[in-house]
Amino acid sequence: MLPWTPSAAVAAAAHRVNDVRDTSLAKLVRDDVLELILHGALLPGQRINEPDIAARLKVSRVPVREALRELESSGLVVSRKNASVFVRQLEAVDVRELYELREMLDGYAASRVAVLPGARRLPLVRQLEAAIATMNQAVDQGDAQAYYAENLKFHWAVVEAVGNRQLLDSYRGVIQRLHVARLTNLSGDAGRRISIAEHVQIAKALRQGDAAACERLARAHVTDAHSRLGSVSPT
């Protein structure tokens, strides 16, 4: 489970739709479709079949349409003139602009957590160091998916530690869209090793409480990740 995907319980959405009272059907449908997109069951450029979704979740097409409108507003799907809806396929300019935004968000988050009191900062550092160890293990085992998931957890943990809900929501939107783009790109071992080394430097600066270095390293990491896109995963 990726750190920013809907709850794992969403996988059972079809069995609990009728039991939910406080959550709208549209939200359940949205989360279900989002899971399919983020896990690659629906690929960039692929048409989303409204009747199939409605039948699978045992709902009418009304909440399905509402869910797809919400996903369109978040930039994950796009509707076309014939009323069909497709998973959005990002252009190079879209990816570049998202990376520019992510660079700012990651840099800001890193600088904020670097000045947290040690009682809060050091447990985060240990969490990040554990993530780095898991990433190294994944690379050693040739498990690109495990590496990528742990990589996401590293960055998510930093942003989440800031304690700013608006920042977290904005970051989630950026990362989800970049994740969809990433599904068409394969990681390379050499690129992953370089990326891990950059994570090590970020964690080291955070342990030292060096806000300026944390921000600089986090921003450089995102910039370098964008430049490696195509030969390594965009993380």
Question: For 97-153, how does the pLDDT look when each residue is reduced to its tens digit (9 = 90+)?
Answer: 999 999 999 999 999 999 999 999 999 999 999 999 999 999 999 988 889 889 999
Residue 178 falls inside a structural domain: yes
Distance of CA 29 to the CA centre of its chain: 19
The helix/strand/coil state of 230 is: coil
Question: For 174-225, how does the pLDDT look when each residue is reduced to its tens digit (9 = 90+)?
Answer: 998 888 777 655 456 788 999 999 999 999 999 999 999 999 999 999 999 9
pLDDT of residue 190: 80
Q: Are 142 and 46 within one domain?
A: no
Residue 33 falls inside a structural domain: yes
What residues does 133 pair with on adjacent strands? none
Q: In terms of residue numbers, what domain contains 82?
A: 8-87
Q: Are 32 and 101 within one domain?
A: no
Q: What is the CATH number of the domain that holds 194?
A: 1.20.120.530
Task: Answer with the one of 68, 87, 106 that is the final residue of a domain.
Answer: 87
Task: Please give the structure tokens belonging to residue 61.
Answer: 């097409």
Residue 234 falls inside a structural domain: no
Residue 39 falls inside a structural domain: yes
Flag the least confident range among 10-14, 82-86, 197-201.
10-14
This prediction has a pTM of: 0.80
Mean pLDDT (the chain, rounded): 86
Flag the least confident range among 31-35, 143-147, 159-163.
143-147
What DSSP string describes 138-202?
Answer: HHHTT-HHHHHHHHHHHHHHHHHHH--HHHHHHHHHHHHHHHHHHTTS---HHHHHHHHHHHHHH
